[in-house]
Amino acid sequence: MIDDVLAVLKNAKSISVLTGAGISVNAGIPDFRGETGIYTKGLYSENVFDIYYFLHDPKPFYDFAREMYPVFEKAEPTFTHKFLANLESQCPVCIVTQNIDFLHEKAGSKNVIHLHGSVEKSHCLNCRKEYSFDQMKELIKKNVVPHCESCGGIIKPDVVFFGEPVIDFDKASSCVSDSYVFLALGTSLEVYPANTLVQFARGSKILVNKTKTSMDYMFDFVIHEELDTFFKELQNKGGLI
């Protein structure tokens, strides 16, 4: 199997990649739906990311954010993040991520679409004043709920909550349909509409995920393995990068 995947990647004229929480777990960022995920362990309810709950009472989200912002700050790209960034020296690579961290950018990837937004920036819901990650980190430390320094409005990270539309889905689907190879990495393929992107893929489809998904049958190659382990094996075998 690994030889087949290696051959496909070496011959690819362009590659699109969908990444999920599994790619960032080794960076210390917990996933949500995995065996030890945030929702699975009952640490936080999905309501924390519900826009209607947030608008009614943003405190539960900021209780979560107060724990997570230091984690995002300290996290460094994993081997797989770096592998994908280095792959750009071989051919055009478009990354569509479900993750709200910015580890792909830290690794050096140039073409990244954040379907679910990112914590890299935040905006006041009233006057739209922008706040950087570092500014927001300090505001979260000092305040139960951060309010805009200009108008007093509630600040919200540029993250897509349940009840909000995803970002740049048309751009993401075009990226997938235009590529010769589609990779789905570290994703359970349970979240809509990200899980529909495989339907836009016209070339070879490769899934690497630690556990089985309900959409395994839609891929040409399915590998159930931890991401960093697999891509280290791939690099050692084929010297792709």
Binding site members:
124, 127, 148, 151
Alpha-carbon dihedral sign for residues 78, 34, 164, 28: negative
Q: Does the active-site annotation cover 81?
A: no
Q: Residue 87 belongs to what H/E stretch?
A: helix 79-87
- Check if the beta carbon of residue 164 is closer than 8 Å to that of residue 129: no
Hey, which residues does 114 pair with through a beta bridge?
97
Residues 6+ apart with CB under 8 A from 165: none
Alpha-carbon dihedral sign for residues 50, 31, 116, 193: negative
Candidate list 116, 123, 147, 224, residue with the active-site label = 116
Burial environment of residue 11 by CB neighbours within 10 A (0 to 12, 13 to 18, 19 or more): exposed
Binding-site annotation: residue ranges for Zn(2+): 124, 127, 148, 151
Residues 57 and 33: their CA atoms lie apart, in Å, by 24
Retrieve residue 158's tokens: 């540029």
Residues 6+ apart with CB under 8 A from 198: 18, 176, 182, 184, 189, 205, 215, 218, 219
Residues 71 and 78: their CA atoms lie apart, in Å, by 14
Give 87's Cβ-side CA count (13 Å radius). Answer: 29
- Check if the beta carbon of residue 37 is closer than 8 Å to that of residue 31: yes
Residue 36 has what DSSP assignment? T
Positions marked catalytic: 116
